[in-house]
Homo-oligomer: A and B are copies of this chain.
Amino acid sequence: MTRSLSDTNCCLVSQPDAGPGARRAAERSEPQALALKLWTVLARAYASVLAHSQADIARHGLTPGEFAVLEVLYHKGPLLLRDIQRKILVSSGGITFLVDSLEKRGLVERRECKEDRRARYAALTPEGERFIAGVFEEHATAIERAVSGLDVDDRRVAIDLLKRLGHHAASLPRPGEGETG
């Protein structure tokens, strides 16, 4: 495996059941305590499901980044590199690197963009299409198993809550953005 659970090692703790944290928690307002708790369980739930996702991806010799590129091309068809970059949230160097390595493996090819000669498309090759089709179906099964702790009604409620949580956080400027000091 290429990357581990430490992808998520950020603010996973703060469960003040013992130690100095127990005293500090008592001084915290309830909304803030719930906010910290929510972030903790969100990170832990994400880490637990991610472990399943990555274990499945690693079985096929893919890094998470490579899988993400193949998956987005599989679902959306040929895309400009910058659109892939924004969808899977990698750096500019990262998308070049990922498409390079998938191109070397014959799963993806670059195509020119006639409307904008700065830009390039990435598209699945027939071999890449066949490959990701199989990998993705197995992956869907692995994910369904990983989230089987919630039944379909719970899943619907969770989807609604997480959507609102995510959209709102994404719409807020991040700490340190656009400040002077």
Binding site for B on A (CB under 8 A): 4-16, 18-21, 24, 28, 30-32, 34-39, 41-59, 64-65, 67-68, 71-72, 74-77, 87-91, 94, 139-150, 152, 154-159, 161-170, 172, 174-177
| Nearest B-chain residue to A18, judged by Cβ | B76
With A55-B176, A166-B44 as known contacts, state yes or no: A13 contacts B158, CB within 8 Å.
Answer: no
The docked-state distance in angstroms from the alpha carbon of A47 to that of B57 is 19
Most B CB contacts (10 A, CB to CB) among A6, A68, A142, A144 go to: A6
The docked-state distance in angstroms from the alpha carbon of A43 to that of B51 is 12
User: Are A77 and B143 interface neighbours, CB within 8 A?
Assistant: no
Which residue of B30, B74, B146 contacts A172 across the interface (Cβ within 8 Å)? B146
Contact partners of A77 in chain B: CB under 8 A? 19-20
| Nearest B-chain residue to A138, judged by Cβ | B175
The docked-state distance in angstroms from the alpha carbon of A67 to that of B11 is 8
The docked-state distance in angstroms from the alpha carbon of A165 to that of B44 is 9
Contact partners of A159 in chain B: CB under 8 A? 34, 37-38, 41
Contact partners of A45 in chain B: CB under 8 A? 42, 162-163, 165-166, 169
A66 CB to nearest B CB, Å: 10
The docked-state distance in angstroms from the alpha carbon of A155 to that of B163 is 13
User: Are B36 and A140 interface neighbours, CB within 8 A?
Assistant: yes
